[in-house]
Amino acid sequence: MNEQDCLVRTLGLVGVGMIGASIGLAAKRAGLVRQVLGCARSAKTVREAQARGAVDAAASLQEIAAQADLIVVAVPMLAYEEVFAAMAPHLRADACMTDAGSTKRLAVEVAHRHLGAHARRFVAAHPIAGSERSGPQAARADLFVDRPCVLTPVQCEPWALRSVEGFWRALGARIAVLDPDTHDRLFARVSHLPHLAAYALVNAIVSLAGNEEPFAFAGAGFRDFTRIASSSPEMWRDIAIANADALTEALDRLRMELDAMREAVAARDAARLEAMFRHAKQARDAWLATQGERRA
């Protein structure tokens, strides 16, 4: 990868929450950019990103489209339509775009629906990094270091793909390439489903509590399992809707597993329960071994 492929004179960040602001911090730390322009629905959010050093100046969507060499869209998925439509008439012919959304089929479809010829310079991406915290105050310059970033290019200009890939690599990410449908199916299972399960578990416990304090004796296991239920409700609402087909299939499978466990519990079927638990443990332990992690 030629070093020039990932250098950016003006980086435009559409959305400067935790992910967007982290991109700005990481790009600056790596010496990739001369100027970072940022926009968000809230002027306060942009000011916070500027205070963190992630953004040099506030700009409108139209200004970012007209001035930026590389634009990164880091907004909730259901805002893509409005954002792409607003930028399309102002985009430079020599600029390229990427995003940080958690579903990729919608991102690609919206780009091709609104960007016209510019869509060939849009390289959809999903950096697998983040936390349950949100906002620019949670941004980190090292957020993407040694983390996967999945690209799902569809009919992209080769130079745009090289530029976007080089940019994410320069932030420290490890690149993988998938088609959008495969991406969405896989992430419905290992990312989107766990988030919905965490939200559902917390809601179930609260609804069972009555006059009791629902979390009075909750320990580390509960904290670990439900950590992601502190994630942005707006962001995960959009992800669930954007990936509804694949996520519905995953939810149906989880419901079948829970129904089977309920039957075994109600029947006091110790052998069946142990077999279910052992199968899950073995699968998780095998996965951890590939990650070089000690089994918990």
Over residues 282-287, the mean pLDDT reads 95
pLDDT of 2: 46
What fold does the segment set 3-178 form as a domain? Rossmann fold (3.40.50)
The answer to whether the beta carbons of residues 61 and 73 sit under 8 Å apart is no
pLDDT of 293: 65
What fold does the segment set 182-290 form as a domain? 6-phosphogluconate dehydrogenase C-terminal fold (1.10.3660)
pTM: 0.90
From CA 107, how far away is CA 101, in angstroms rounded?
7
Q: What is the pLDDT of residues 208-226, one digit of tens each?
A: 988 889 999 999 999 999 9
Strand, helix or coil for residue 266: helix
The answer to whether the beta carbons of residues 23 and 15 sit under 8 Å apart is no
pLDDT of 6: 55
pLDDT of 274: 98
Strand, helix or coil for residue 142: coil
Q: Report CA-CA distances (Å) from 139 to 55, 56, 128, 296.
A: 12, 15, 14, 29
- The model's confidence at residue 294, banded by pLDDT at 50, 70 and 90, is low
* Domain range list for the chain: 3-178, 182-290
